[in-house]
């Protein structure tokens, strides 16, 4: 089990061949109060960098991208009823979707937690 991060401020928790994906605490702090989340449908095949989910604050909509190729296994229905969870537990209960990894070599291009922290410092 290991955690990866992207430059689009997503985190992936990989367990076996499935990754749980969410947005980082930094991302939610930039977005502000989340009022709506749109999730991908289960069974959908996506490619890395495809727009797969949307998160909306009072002011604006932002896309969430697929961090890797794969098949969407599940969306987090909790966020449909309680979008504010994204602000409260972005790196825990408020995960966005689970994706079955289509190409595990893509993980090697992602950042470790330490690298991501360093990246955020540069912003």
Partner 1 sequence: MAEAADLLQTPLFDLHNELGAKMVPFAGYQMPVQYPLGVLKEHLFTRESAGLFDVSHMGQAWLVGPDHETTARALEALVPSNMKELKPGKQRYTVLLNDYGNITDDLMVSRPLAAEDDGRLMLVVNAACKDNDYKIIAAALPDNVKLEIVEDRALLALQGPKAAEVMALHAPEAAQMGFMEARPLEFDGISVIASRSGYTGEDGYEISIPAGAAEAVAKALLADERVQAIGLGARDSLRLEAGLCLYGHDIDENTTPVEGNITFCMQKRRKEAGDFPGGARVLKQLAEGTNTIRVGLKLEGRAPAREGAEIRVPGTQEVIGRVTSGGFAPTLGAPIAMGYVPSNLAEIGTELELVVRGRALAAKVSAMPFVAQRYYRKPK
Interaction site with partner 1 (CB under 8 A):
32-33, 35-36, 38, 54, 56-61, 80, 83
How far apart CA 31 and CA 49 sit, in angstroms, is 20
Walk across the sheet containing 97-101 and list its strands. 2-5, 10-15, 18-23, 97-101, 70-75, 45-46
20 vs 57, beta carbon nearer partner 1: 57
39 vs 110, beta carbon nearer partner 1: 39
CB 31 within 8 A of CB 55: yes
59 vs 121, beta carbon nearer partner 1: 59
CB of 66 to partner 1, least distance (A): 16
CB of 56 to partner 1, least distance (A): 6
């Amino acid at each position: 089990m290991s955690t990866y991060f992207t430059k689009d401020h997503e985190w992936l928790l990989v367990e076996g061949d499935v990754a749980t994906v969410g947005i980082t605490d930094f991302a939610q702090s930039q977005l502000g109060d989340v009022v709506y989340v749109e999730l991908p449908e289960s069974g959908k095949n996506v490619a890395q960098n495809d727009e797969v989910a949307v998160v909306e604050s009072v002011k604006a909509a932002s896309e969430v991208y697929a961090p890797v190729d794969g098949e969407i296994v599940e969306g987090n229905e909790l966020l449909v009823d309680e979008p504010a969870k994204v602000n409260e537990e972005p790196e825990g209960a408020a995960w966005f979707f689970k994706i079955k990894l289509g190409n595990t070599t893509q993980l090697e291009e992602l950042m470790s937690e330490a690298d991501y922290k360093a990246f955020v410092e540069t912003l």
